């Protein structure tokens, strides 16, 4: 198709003799179809005080070597990681900026917490865990988002619209009781076959429309240029995915690996820093079980509130003083201890990742069908700077994101665009998230 030729959509459709199934192909707005038979999930894990850049960012390109020190707990799953680096030759900077914070308080790292998942200042718009869960609810899934915190404070990363903070549950005791104490788990039978569904005339009508659209799309693709053919083939795959959803019946069973996690041991005071590692592991164990038992499809876990970790020490890591916040403020002088602590945080992420990676779901795993977004509210703990934030993606969301690679951006991007791409991975059609001043997405560089 020559670039100087212009057609209206209606004229082009009429001339080609094809139906409305082509129309989404001609839209400038991108629609992302959910993959048939895949149960997708979104999990965000956050903490504050930045990272030690030299111990966090791998070189751009395929993750073939050993991961940097902080990411070492995830090394065996590096093929499932998408790392994001910033522009230029500085190999120690991230590529994601909290633009809404840069315009108001560029060095207000702790106050950036509400922007991490909302893309707005002070959580003025809904965070993506709520947006995604609302889309799941529209599709028929009823469970609410799971909002968790280990040192829950005045702020949060999870918000409803209008700066309404989601209260975080910080007690593994109450969480276990509410989710698993009364739950009866019946393992699915390995030999059970799904019942033949009753004839549904509406489904049959929809199926017949798709049967007509697929040959139309295929024929149309053969009559256009290479660039348009690529776009049409992508739309054709979306139509085929819809057909699979109509004919496949219920989503793949997620209960095959469903087991109750170990109950929280009695007598542990989670306000005592000695038990902080136990609290973190118990929470991530419960999150993994919630995925396997399909009790939650969106979750957030704030490892520390945005106050900075004041008074949080790590005696179990042989770091009993100063506290985490004070260590971060030492800058390079505190990097040795800071790396040890951040490696601990990533070991908790790895606990969740390992359990999801070992849980089969059809031809893939729970991890493959999940997007775990790990983020921090500043780039390095001594400066509180809200540009070059260290976001990390683990899991492809059903094949949406690239994996096993560190992508280097040509220019630092607003975190709004990253959040929009995560929504796309979850099957949502949105053109932006958060502050309207930063529309768009990062699909072109992050999508597989």
Whether 337 contacts 141, CB under 8 Å: no
Looking at the structure, do residues 310 and 232 belong to the same domain, yes or no?
A: no
pLDDT in tens, 359-418: 999 889 999 999 999 999 999 999 999 999 999 999 999 999 999 999 999 888 999 999
Looking at the structure, do residues 48 and 119 belong to the same domain, yes or no?
A: yes
Instruction: Give the pairing type, strands 405-408 and 81-85.
Output: parallel
Looking at the structure, do residues 174 and 228 belong to the same domain, yes or no?
A: no
Q: Measured between alpha carbons, how far is residue 379 from residues 98, 158, 178, 262 in Å?
A: 10, 20, 36, 36
What is the pLDDT, as a whole number, of residue 162? Answer: 82
Mean per-residue pLDDT over the chain, rounded? 81
Asked if the model's pLDDT at residue 36 lies above 80, the reply is no
Alpha carbons 50 and 72: distance in angstroms, whole number: 17
Give domain status of residue 389, yes or no.
yes
Q: Measured between alpha carbons, how far is residue 96 from residues 268, 270, 397 in Å?
A: 38, 33, 20
Looking at the structure, do residues 222 and 114 belong to the same domain, yes or no?
A: no
Q: What is the CATH number of the domain that holds 99?
A: 3.40.720
Asked if the model's pLDDT at residue 8 lies above 60, the reply is no
Ranking 56-70, 75-89, 194-208 by mean pLDDT, the lowest is 194-208
Give domain status of residue 7, yes or no.
no
Looking at the structure, do residues 217 and 113 belong to the same domain, yes or no?
A: no
User: Residue 103 region, left (φ>0) first, then alpha (ψ -120 to 50), else beta?
Assistant: alpha
- The total domain count for the chain is 2
End of a domain among 212, 236, 254?
A: 254
Alpha carbons 215 and 207: distance in angstroms, whole number: 13
CA end-to-end span of the chain: 26
Find which of 9-13, 99-103, 155-159, 220-224 is predicted with most confidence, using mean pLDDT: 99-103
Looking at the structure, do residues 290 and 306 belong to the same domain, yes or no?
A: yes
CB count, 10 Å around CB of 331? 14
Ranking 1-15, 230-244, 365-379 by mean pLDDT, the lowest is 1-15
Looking at the structure, do residues 300 and 405 belong to the same domain, yes or no?
A: yes
User: Residue 11 region, left (φ>0) first, then alpha (ψ -120 to 50), else beta?
Assistant: alpha
Give domain status of residue 422, yes or no.
yes
Give domain status of residue 116, yes or no.
yes
Give domain status of residue 29, yes or no.
no
Q: What are phi and psi of 70, to 5 degrees?
A: -65, -30
Q: What are phi and psi of 149, to 5 degrees?
A: -155, 140
322 CB-near residues (< 8 Å, 6+ apart)? 313
Q: What are phi and psi of 61, to 5 degrees?
A: 110, -165
Q: Measured between alpha carbons, how far is residue 290 from residues 7, 15, 174, 294, 303 in Å?
A: 51, 52, 14, 6, 18
Looking at the structure, do residues 276 and 313 belong to the same domain, yes or no?
A: yes
Find which of 128-132, 142-146, 385-389 is predicted with most confidence, using mean pLDDT: 128-132
pLDDT in tens, 305-331: 777 778 899 999 999 899 999 999 999
Alpha carbons 239 and 96: distance in angstroms, whole number: 33
Q: Would you tell me the crossing angle of helices 201-221 and 226-248 to the nearest 10 degrees?
A: 160
Whether 395 contacts 368, CB under 8 Å: yes
Looking at the structure, do residues 60 and 82 belong to the same domain, yes or no?
A: yes
Alpha helices in 254-407, H assignment, sequence order: 276-292, 324-329, 335-357
Alpha carbons 186 and 179: distance in angstroms, whole number: 16
Looking at the structure, do residues 277 and 183 belong to the same domain, yes or no?
A: yes
Q: Measured between alpha carbons, how far is residue 239 from residues 195, 206, 227, 235, 244 in Å?
A: 25, 12, 19, 6, 9
Give domain status of residue 26, yes or no.
no
What is the pLDDT, as a whole number, of residue 16? Answer: 40
Which of 335, 349, 378 lies closest to 150, judged by CA? 349
pTM beyond 0.85: the answer is no
Query: 18 by DSSP, 3-state: which?
Result: coil
Give domain status of residue 45, yes or no.
yes
Per-residue confidence at 22, pLDDT binned at 50, 70, 90?
very low
Half-sphere exposure of 415 (CA within 13 A, CB side): 34
Looking at the structure, do residues 106 and 179 belong to the same domain, yes or no?
A: yes
**Dmax (CA) of the chain:** 75
What is the pLDDT, as a whole number, of residue 240? Answer: 45
Residue span of the structural domain in which 233 resides: 203-254
Give domain status of residue 19, yes or no.
no
Looking at the structure, do residues 119 and 210 belong to the same domain, yes or no?
A: no
């Amino acid at each position: 198709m020559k670039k100087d030729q212009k057609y209206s959509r209606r004229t082009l459709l009429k001339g080609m003799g094809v139906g409305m199934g082509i129309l989404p192909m001609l839209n400038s707005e991108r629609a992302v179809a959910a993959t048939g038979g895949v149960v997708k999930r979104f999990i965000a894990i956050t903490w504050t005080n930045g990272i030690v850049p030299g111990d966090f960012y791998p070189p751009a390109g395929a993750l073939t070597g050993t991961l940097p020190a902080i990411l070492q707990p995830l090394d065996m799953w590096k093929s499932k990681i998408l790392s994001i680096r910033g522009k230029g030759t500085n190999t120690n900077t991230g590529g994601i900026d909290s633009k809404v914070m840069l315009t108001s308080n560029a060095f207000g790292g702790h106050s950036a917490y509400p922007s991490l998942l909302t893309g707005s200042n002070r959580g003025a718009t809904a965070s993506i865990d709520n947006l995604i869960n609302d889309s799941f609810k529209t599709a028929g899934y009823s469970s609410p988002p799971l909002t968790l915190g280990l040192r829950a404070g005045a702020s949060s990363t999870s918000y409803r619209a209008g700066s309404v903070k989601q209260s975080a549950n910080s007690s593994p005791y109450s969480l276990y009781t509410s989710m698993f104490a009364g739950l009866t788990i019946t393992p699915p039978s390995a030999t059970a076959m799904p019942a033949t569904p009753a004839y549904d005339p509406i489904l049959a009508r929809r199926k017949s429309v798709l049967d007509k659209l697929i040959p139309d799309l295929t024929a149309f693709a053969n009559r256009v240029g290479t660039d348009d053919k690529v776009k049409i083939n992508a739309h054709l795959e979306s139509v085929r995915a819809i057909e699979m959803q109509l004919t496949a019946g219920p989503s793949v069973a997620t209960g095959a690996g469903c087991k109750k996690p170990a109950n929280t041991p009695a007598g542990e005071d989670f306000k005592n820093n000695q038990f902080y590692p136990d609290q973190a592991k118990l929470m991530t164990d419960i999150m993994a079980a919630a995925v396997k038992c399909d009790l939650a499809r969106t979750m957030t876990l704030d490892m520390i509130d945005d106050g900075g970790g004041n008074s949080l020490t790590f005696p179990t890591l042989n770091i009993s003083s100063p506290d985490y916040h004070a260590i971060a403020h030492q800058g390079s002088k505190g990097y040795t201890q800071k790396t040890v602590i951040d490696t601990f945080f990533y070991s908790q992420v790895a606990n969740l990742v390992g359990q999801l990676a070992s849980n089969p779901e059809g031809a893939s795993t729970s991890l493959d069908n999940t997007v775990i977004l790990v983020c921090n509210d500043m780039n390095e703990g001594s400066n509180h700077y809200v540009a070059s934030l260290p976001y990390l993606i683990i899991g492809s969301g059903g094949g949406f994101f690239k994996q096993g690679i560190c992508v280097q951006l040509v220019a630092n991007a607003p975190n709004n665009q990253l959040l929009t791409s995560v929504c796309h991975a979850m099957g949502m059609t949105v053109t932006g998230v958060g502050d309207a001043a930063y529309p768009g997405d990062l699909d072109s560089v992050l999508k597989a």
